Structure 1
Amino acid sequence: MSFFRSLFSARPAPRHFARLDESGICRAFKHCSHAPQGGEWVEVNEQRLVWLGQPLPASARITPRAARSALRLLLAA
């Protein structure tokens, strides 16, 4: 029965992450529901292979979720 229920339960939406080296160069991508541990991973709005080996464009970055929720609270007040 739990398998049947799991088919209809809400799952976290997959998110895109890019791993940056110490120079800010994009070295890898990851597509997962939670932020990866270790390394310098930043959330991006999409994955583009042309970014590999290049500096990540500032427009690609997504602000951290905690900062966005705090911003919403400030704007709602």
Structure 2
Amino acid sequence: MQFLWSLFAPRRTYRYFARLDSAERCLAFKHCQVPPMGDGWVEINEIRPHWLHQPLPTSARLSPRIRRLRLHSALAG
């Protein structure tokens, strides 16, 4: 019975973050529910290992405005 309840329970949403150095190169990735503590973390749309030690593409970053629009559209539907 617990399994059936788990099917309908809201899922925890995980977000993706990348830590950038002063030259905007990716140093690390993190997959968590809340933004990591500390400087240099930016929210990204996905994790791609080949971005490590490379400049992060601008298309990979999520702006706070885009994230709010997604949340709003998810709640409206």
Partner of 2:25: 25
Partner of 2:37: 37
Q: CA deviation at 1:46?
A: 0.4
Among the aligned pairs, what percent are the same residue?
48
Amino acid at match of 2:32: C
Q: Which runs of 5+ in 1 are unaligned?
A: 73-77
* Pairs aligned (count): 64
Q: CA deviation at 1:15?
A: 0.5
Amino acid at match of 2:25: I
Partner of 1:51: 51
Q: Which contiguous aligned blocks of 4+ residues in structure 1 show a shift greater than 3 angstroms?
A: 67-70
Partner of 1:14: 14
Q: CA deviation at 1:39?
A: 2.1
TM-score, normalised on structure 2? 0.71
Q: Which runs of 5+ in 2 are unaligned?
A: 73-77
Q: CA deviation at 1:11?
A: 4.4
Whole-Å separation in 2 of the counterparts to 1:40 and 1:11: 28
TM-score, normalised on structure 1? 0.71
Whole-Å separation in 1 of the counterparts to 2:11 and 2:32: 12
